Chains A and B, each alone.
Chain A
């Protein structure tokens, strides 16, 4: 089983890499270098703040977009192109293994992507700040949270692609990402509402993926310390929620007639 999972995951990774996904790194590098050179003229403090905001947001945005577009293709494209048939039909591969393998492969791709970007990012921060300080540890936390975001959105994109066409899957995925970004505000809204609206709103606000709490970019740009408890809780949350989403994906996929 592990052998098969690894084979599918690695295959997914290889396919993504060769699909020139990683070329986005070049664009990112250009962006970062350009920004740090451009803002080199302004005062040191603002420069660092802008660089961190820009850099981390770019890492996050690029990754989310890649996650969605490749994630959608994980299942939808395979069904469309019928590559799925040769994998599932005549191999001792269980449907859930397929889902899990694809998921792991994409997470691998995104992690590599993010790590490479981080190297460039830290290089730029070093250049701008002329050295690393203690505040830079929180940058690592921010990147870790971004990775957690990737895991969440990948699982969701995968879920949508098990039952929907590529176009709708992408739309759903972007939409749920947008909604999840405001999850904390949704919970605030819910508290101020009454009656049925309150119940519905509360339910939605808790079930929506909690991207809001994973975004600490603003805080680390201003050198605020991140509570260790938050790191633990966010990790647990992403783990549990992702498992739920993957369970749903497997549930749907197992019952699907692959015409």
Chain B
């Protein structure tokens, strides 16, 4: 029967080779299709129509749209896109097909609101989406939190933000820090530390990889902001004491104002240029508001940074 075995082996090998080749071709096809200028058109724009067409399988279709949201955003983010025209419609589609898909609302609350390329730069749309989520899921306390964040950080409305946190804190099972946030906002407490507190809580309470990465980024930037502030104060002190601008960190170390050459959370040394503290590579810290070389836009932390250096887990 060895002849038979040889024949079977030939078939198996041939089949294996062909399937491997086809897999490689699929990868190439995927690459070409994702390189195409990403379609900013939803082929069936109306969510209601899609829901009807889905013949009852709207849950599955929602999941499919959800993956498309993630792919769409991921691809454009990688390409440092300046606009995300169909992010809102895609999210609207997803949440119409499955109104209980909480991750979609949370994703939208962050990435619709943030300025490009970190998001679509449309906080009003983000707020609308989250309000929709709250209507459909009144017991999901996290959504109130997301809403509060949007109002405070992006729409610069602490009153509405506090109100959102307040509503959320009343929901059964809400995390106690909702009430803290409500109170802090109402009292216009130190915004940097509130922000750190908030981002840390986001980081610790979500599994979503994109949200975690974003939160870490924000925390790092907040740390940079505070470090730059501290360093700038030391530099200003040196200037006042010595009557001239320091030429480098060595001078401050010599004056006992620093223990060593300061480095940012990414490990690059801070730079001292004409008496101003700057970060080496601003692109690594898209949300910072200080330490930017001249000509770069500011971030979006409201109010005056009344900081306290707090330890955060990074």
Contact = CB atoms under 8 A, between A and B. Distances in A.
Interface of A: 182-185, 187-189, 192, 206-207, 210, 213, 218-219, 221-222, 224, 227, 229-230, 233-234, 236-237, 240-241, 243-244, 247-248, 251
A188 B41 CA distance: 19
A237 B39 contact: no
B22 A240 contact: yes
B11 to A, nearest CB: 4
Contacts of B35: 227
A214 B83 CA distance: 28
Residue picked from B19, B26, B41, B70, most chain A C-beta under 10 Å: B26
Contacts of B26: 183, 206, 210, 213, 237
A247 B7 CA distance: 12
Contact of B22 (A221, A222, A230, A237): A237
Interface string B18-50: 110111011111101101100101010000000
B15 A247 contact: yes
Contacts of A218: 43
Contacts of A236: 25
26 contacts: A182-B64, A185-B67, A185-B68, A192-B67, A206-B23, A210-B26, A213-B26, A213-B33, A219-B39, A221-B43, A224-B36, A224-B39, A233-B29, A234-B29, A236-B25, A237-B22, A240-B18, A240-B21, A241-B18, A241-B22, A243-B18, A244-B15, A247-B14, A247-B18, A251-B11, A251-B15
B71 interface: yes
Give the 8 A-B residue pairs with the shortest CB-CB distance, closest first.
A244-B18, A188-B67, A218-B43, A237-B25, A241-B22, A251-B11, A206-B23, A185-B64
A155 to B, nearest CB: 12
A230 B70 contact: no
Contacts of B18: 240-241, 243-244, 247
Contacts of A183: 26
A188 B70 contact: yes
B25 A230 contact: no
Contacts of B22: 206, 237, 240-241, 244
Contacts of A227: 32, 35-36
Nearest to B14: A247
Given A207-B19, A218-B43, A233-B32, A240 B67 contact: no
B266 to A, nearest CB: 27
A143 B27 CA distance: 23
Given A224-B36, A240-B22, 8 more contacts: A188-B70, A206-B23, A210-B26, A213-B26, A219-B39, A233-B28, A243-B18, A248-B15
Interface in B61-75: 63-64, 67-68, 70-71
Nearest to B12: A251
A206 B43 CA distance: 25
Contacts of A219: 39
| Chain A contact residues: helix, strand, loop or mixed | helix
A53 B33 CA distance: 20
Contacts of A187: 30
B103 to A, nearest CB: 11
Contacts of B27: 206
Nearest to A222: B41
B33 A207 contact: no
Contacts of A221: 43
B77 to A, nearest CB: 15
Residue picked from B11, B22, B30, most chain A C-beta under 10 Å: B22
B30 A230 contact: no
A99 B23 CA distance: 24
Contact of A230 (B23, B33, B68): B33
Contacts of B67: 185, 188-189, 192
Given A210-B29, A230-B29, A188 B11 contact: no
A182 to B, nearest CB: 6
A87 B124 CA distance: 71
B70 A184 contact: no
Nearest to A243: B18
A222 B41 CA distance: 9
Contacts of B71: 188
A187 B64 CA distance: 11
A235 to B, nearest CB: 10
B29 A237 contact: yes
A188 B36 CA distance: 17
A233 B39 contact: no
A189 B70 CA distance: 10
B274 to A, nearest CB: 47
Nearest to B71: A188
A192 B70 contact: yes
Contacts of A184: 30, 33
A213 B26 CA distance: 9
Nearest to A209: B22
Contacts of A210: 26, 29
B28 to A, nearest CB: 5
